[in-house]
Amino acid sequence: GRGVMKFYESGEKLAQDMGVPLSVLEETHEAHYQAAKKTEKDPDGGSWPAYPSGKSWDEASGKTGSGKKFYHNIIPGSKVKTEPYYVAIITPVIHYCMGGLEIDTDSAVISTSTGKAIPGLYAAGEVAGGVHGNNRLGGNSLLDCVVFGRVAAKAACKYMFGEDGKFRMCPCPGQLKDLC
């Protein structure tokens, strides 16, 4: 293979390789197992906020505001010791940035001090935030760039050439400071 996954004959071997007591893995699996069982009986119950909405029985991730509601391949803690595992090392990366500059429907950047569009300044793609809210639909990042890139280009052309088609210069940095 490509070395992406590592096989362990048992949870005991996994715990040894991780350098943690087996009991830590058993307790973690048991907590998720119990949350899954409670979710089966009462999917809308729980004390913790769930992602994307509702309530969750998952205390561990629920404390972060992102409690699980969907469980797959959950095993009780008592089976961890002898269960085989395939493990992937996951590292954090920026896949898509949800934040960014606030824009209006013409992709003009909104000033944080005036709340109005900054003349001649446009943004599109991941640099522009607030389009999708808390999360985005999968596959929308390129679409976001294409749609708002085109909107920004049209608005920038209209700004530069005006309704009468006469060219005018964009504000220089000193002028932008006065506009913000």
Q: For residue range 92-146, what is the model confidence (pLDDT) as tens digits?
A: 776 666 778 999 999 999 999 999 999 999 999 878 876 666 666 666 777 888 8
Under DSSP, is residue 172 helix (H, G, I), strand (E, B) or coil? coil
Of 27, 57, 88, the residue at which a domain comes to its end is 88
- pTM comes to 0.53
81, 114: one domain: no
Structure tokens of 1? Answer: 């293979």
What integer is the mean pLDDT of 40-58? 85
- The count of domains in the chain is 2
Residues 54 and 128 in one domain: no
d(CA 54, CA 43): 9
With beta carbons less than 8 A apart as the criterion, state whether 151 and 96 touch: no
Which residue segment(s) compose the domain that 37 sits in? 5-88
Task: Give residue-wise pLDDT tens across range 74-98.
Answer: 899 999 999 999 999 888 776 666 7
Q: Is the pLDDT of residue 15 over 80?
A: yes
Percentage of residues in the chain with pLDDT exceeding 90? Answer: 42
Residue 100 lies in a domain: no
Whether 29 maps to a domain, the answer reads yes
Is residue 33 pLDDT above 80, yes or no? yes
In a domain, 101, yes or no: no
Q: Is residue 102 part of a domain?
A: no
Strands 55-56 and 85-88: unpaired
Cβ(151)–Cβ(124) below 8 Å: yes
94 found inside a domain: no
Whether 38 shows a pLDDT value over 60: the answer reads yes
- Which of 31, 54, 88 terminates a domain? The answer is 88
Boundary residue ending a domain (60, 88, 116): 88
**Is residue 52 situated within a structural domain?**
yes
DSSP state, residue 125: G
CA distance 69 to 122: 39
- Do 127 and 68 have their domain in common? no
The closest of 41, 90, 37, 46 to 65, measured between CA atoms, is 46
Is residue 63 domain-shared with residue 34, that is, in the same domain?
yes
48: in domain: yes
Structural contact between residues 66 and 82, judged by C-beta atoms closer than 8 angstroms: no
